[in-house]
Homo-oligomer: A and B are copies of this chain.
């Protein structure tokens, strides 16, 4: 399935599982602001790519899992942008939720989006049948403690943080949920896909660290993110730890591992292509020659 068809499926899934939950009105507007228009939708697209590589025999279930992953991602962005964390005014080229609305509504929009991830699974519980426990477990693990998004964000404020554990929780966990959940939604083997997801998550976080150190806020590949945030907030960063050449080299080898780990079968080539296309968007233009 072509990449743009996957993108369309993701948008439709988000709207389907949002339906009826955009109330009360101001909260609903804030949730919409956080979700649309989206970024690259990397995580839910990856989830659907994995589901397709596993046969995707229950597309409503894989759609719900993809929506759940993106709801969690957007929840983490809304909360991370709040004044007590990054105090970010802009996100995806427009005002962050607390700047467009206010802090209470942004806090609640993040809370609502966390719950919406589970509501999406609840919506397809009957169709998911005996796959529901694995989907629920995957989303729980990626969201919470001790190894999910919330734990990763908390590690930023801990006195001692190990870079690997921080990256695994802050970014890796959701890629892993996309992989494991995408496979589980289609009745696929989970263990192998967990490894693919973990590698891709690590690659994505290294790319993010590189952006933060050497990116250009005006660079289209940067998706409107502010730069220099890690140094500003004293957060662990792969470039600070390995240097720019070391970080780029690590990114390349990690991505290659992810692609190699994709098991052969129908949909495997399409998924490798999806990963390659998304990877091409990872690096700032100034570094593409370094990475080639």
Residues of A within 8 A of B (CB): 20-28, 31, 75, 79, 82, 84-85, 102-105, 107-108, 110-112, 114-116, 118-119, 121-122, 125-126, 132-133, 136-137, 139-140, 143-146, 148, 150-151, 153-155, 157-158, 161
Contact = CB atoms under 8 A, between A and B. Distances in A.
Contact of A119 (B75, B105, B133, B140): B140
Nearest to A153: B108
Nearest to A103: B84
A96 to B, nearest CB: 15
A229 to B, nearest CB: 15
Given A23-B146, A26-B158, 16 more contacts: A22-B145, A22-B146, A23-B151, A24-B151, A24-B155, A24-B161, A31-B145, A82-B107, A84-B104, A84-B107, A108-B154, A115-B144, A115-B145, A118-B139, A119-B140, A132-B132
By DSSP majority rule, is chain A's interface helix, strand, loop, or mixed?
A: helix
Nearest to A26: B158
A26 B157 contact: yes
Contact of A145 (B112, B122, B144, B150): B112
A137 B122 CA distance: 6
Pick the most buried of A24, A82, A116, A146: most chain B CB atoms within 10 A of its CB: A24
B151 A27 contact: yes
A125 B26 CA distance: 35
Nearest to A133: B125
A276 to B, nearest CB: 33
Contacts of A136: 118, 121-122, 125, 132, 136
B118 A150 contact: no
A44 B122 CA distance: 22
Given A114-B114, A125-B132, A24 B154 contact: yes
A146 B20 contact: yes
A115 B148 CA distance: 10
Given A125-B136, A132-B132, A136-B118, A150 B85 contact: no
